[in-house]
Amino acid sequence: MDYFVIASILVLISAIFGYINVRFLKMPNTIGLMLITIVFTLGVFALSYFDDTLLNAEKFIITQIDFKSILLDVMLSFLLFAGALHTNFEQLKVQRWPVLAFATFGVLISTFLVGGAMFFALPIIGLHIDFIYCLLFGALISPTDPIAVLGILKKAGVPKKLETKIVGESLFNDGVGVVIFLTIFKIADLGIENVSALEVVELFGVEVLGGIALGLILGWITYRLMKSIDDYDIEVIITLAAVMGGTVLAQKLHISAPLAMVTAGLVVGNDTVRDSAMSDTTEAYVDKFWELLDILLNTILFVLIGMEMLVLTFKFEYLTAGLLAIPLVLVCRYISLLVPIKFFENKLDFVPKTNLIMTWGGLRGGISIALALGLTEVMERDLILVITYVVVVFSILIQGMTVGKLVKKLEIK
């Protein structure tokens, strides 16, 4: 089966499930699509006891898709650029220091807290994993997913300044989380005795700073090109070329493509660039093009997450470990946010219960699953993948459906 056929099937399934959600369930697309796909997949499992034709077809499709490569190397750049393009830059500029602290120190602290908690908790249910592999789980589950967060917060009624913190953190902690994961992965793969502290710092620094620098350059070049012409269709193509060409360049230079795309999106999307480089027609077309692309890729992504159930090795102790991980991950996130929030709350006007809402509203998504799929068998891949899937499903379905109710219950204006 070639890639066009697979893509066509995925788009068809996404369109059908999307229609069902909008027409009948009326949930945020992220939640509705994932719920429908999981129910559909469970239905296929049940049907397979009588006729396994549909199950085999679905399994064949999912085994032909390299989820990790598609999400991290292709889809993520488009999704992060689109998210950054529509982020309120002025609000983000005001909140830049707490956002930076959440996205760096917060993720780093959470990685070690989750890793340590899992290392001591898993033996309770008879599972023993090396600490370095627990750290890998901590690294892949700590970043919140902007793709999951963006759509849900719009319907949750979260105050703008808090929404900016959550969305801004999600956009940046994603790139930082990937870099932390890759750093720990290298240590786990080569052995801690074969990797020096200088190599770790160099890898982390080059990926992060290099990604941001490339994003600034790409954003500036895109701005200059758009400013020099007034032709909305070519200007839309220029933004598309910046994302595609920038992603390829970042991969060749071994720097963080996600951070590059977030930075480029913020540069191109800020009000100053919009006012000086885009006519009203261009601005409308650029926004609509990226909104449509964002919705299309989001739809396909959450259908794929639901279908990933087919590649999991479900064992009772693995599911138990996943359920055990849910409260641990939430508690560790709450603790990791305490220091940045306490440090900045007197300098910036934080809304009440910021920590609680950021903890419950910090959803996990496809990035965590993609990173887990990249683990080797030696790194307890099957176990960590099931734990990750359980946490992600709980995060999107339960936290996603209740974050709006939490905001209303706390009566935050």
* pLDDT of 412: 57
Whether 19 and 129 share a structural domain: no
Whether 254 and 336 share a structural domain: yes
Q: What single DSSP character describes residue 384?
A: H
**pLDDT tens readout for residues 313-330:** 889 999 999 999 999 999
* pLDDT of 154: 67
Of 12, 28, 63, the residue at which a domain comes to its end is: 63
Whether 55 and 72 share a structural domain: no
Q: List the structure tokens of 315.
A: 């064992």
CATH (domain of 172) = 1.20.1530.20
SS3 state at 127: coil
Q: Of the given ranges (125-139, 194-208, 377-391), which has the lowest mean pLDDT? A: 194-208
Cα 53 to Cα 74: distance, rounded to the nearest angstrom: 31
User: For all residues of the chain together, what is the average pLDDT?
Assistant: 90
Whether 57 and 78 share a structural domain: no
Whether 226 and 288 share a structural domain: yes
Of 142, 136, 195, residue with least CA distance to 378 = 136
If pLDDT is split at 50, 70 and 90, which confidence band does 335 have? very high
The values of phi and psi at residue 87, to 5°, are: -85, 140
* pLDDT of 151: 67
* pLDDT of 92: 84
If pLDDT is split at 50, 70 and 90, which confidence band does 404 have? confident
Q: Residue with structure tokens 């895109």?
A: 222
Whether 258 and 316 share a structural domain: yes
Whether 120 and 268 share a structural domain: yes
Can you give the residue range of the structural domain that contains 22? 3-63
Whether 77 and 211 share a structural domain: yes
Per-residue pLDDT at 201 exceeds 90:
no
Average of pLDDT values for 40-63? 90
Structure pTM?
Answer: 0.91
* pLDDT of 1: 61
Whether 272 and 156 share a structural domain: yes
Per-residue pLDDT at 200 exceeds 90:
no
Whether 329 and 182 share a structural domain: yes
Whether 146 and 195 share a structural domain: yes
Of 16, 47, 63, the residue at which a domain comes to its end is: 63
Of 13, 43, 63, the residue at which a domain comes to its end is: 63
If pLDDT is split at 50, 70 and 90, which confidence band does 165 have? confident
Per-residue pLDDT at 54 exceeds 80:
yes
Listing DSSP states for 242-306 in one string gives HHHHHHHHHHHHTS-HHHHHHHHHHHHHSHHHHHHH--HHHHHHHHHHHHHHHHHHHHHHHHHHH
Q: How many independent structural domains does the chain possess? A: 2
If pLDDT is split at 50, 70 and 90, which confidence band does 411 have? low
**pLDDT tens readout for residues 97-135:** 888 899 999 999 999 999 999 999 999 999 999 999 999
**pLDDT tens readout for residues 78-97:** 989 998 998 877 778 888 88
* CA 204, 76, 81, 108 torsion-angle sign: negative
Q: How many residues does the chain have?
A: 413
Whether 17 and 157 share a structural domain: no
Q: Of the given ranges (43-47, 172-176, 261-265, 317-321), which has the lowest mean pLDDT? A: 172-176
